[in-house]
Amino acid sequence: MGSSTVNTADAELSAIYGEQVSFVCHCLRRLGVPDRDLEDKAQDVFVVVHRKLADYDRARPIRPWLTGIAARVALDHLRKAYRKHEDLREQIETAHQQRDPEQQLAERQARELVLAALDRLDLDQRAVFVLADIEGHSMPEIAEIIDAPLNTLYSRLRLARQRFTRVARTLSRAGAIR
pLDDT digits (tens, 9 = 90+) for 97-129: 556 777 777 778 888 888 889 889 988 899 899
Q: What is the mean pLDDT of residues 46-75?
A: 90
Computed on alpha carbons and rounded to an integer, the radius of gyration of the chain in Å comes to 18
* Domain spans of the chain, in order of start: 1-88, 98-178
The DSSP secondary-structure symbol of 48 reads: H
The pLDDT-based confidence of 73 (bands split at 50, 70, 90) is very high
CB 49 within 8 A of CB 66: yes
The reported pLDDT for the residue numbered 177 is 55
Please list, in sequence order, all residues whose beta carbon lies within 8 angstroms of the beta carbon of residue 131, skipping any fewer than 6 positions away.
Answer: 67, 71, 137, 141, 142, 145, 146
The reported pLDDT for the residue numbered 94 is 39
The reported pLDDT for the residue numbered 19 is 95
Nearest to 119 by CA among 163, 62, 73: 163
Q: What is the mean pLDDT of residues 66-88?
A: 73
The pLDDT-based confidence of 90 (bands split at 50, 70, 90) is very low
- For domain 98-178, give the fold: Arc Repressor Mutant, subunit A (1.10.10)
- Using a pLDDT cut of 70, give the percent of the chain over it: 84
pTM over 0.75: no
Of the two residues 174 and 63, the one the predictor is more confident about is 63
CB 70 within 8 A of CB 31: yes
The reported pLDDT for the residue numbered 158 is 97
The pLDDT-based confidence of 149 (bands split at 50, 70, 90) is very high
> How far, in Å, are 18, 131, 138 from residue 121 at the CA level?
33, 14, 20
The DSSP secondary-structure symbol of 34 reads: -
The pLDDT-based confidence of 82 (bands split at 50, 70, 90) is low
Max Cα–Cα distance, the chain, nearest Å? 63
- For domain 1-88, give the fold: Rna Polymerase Sigma Factor; Chain: A (1.10.1740)
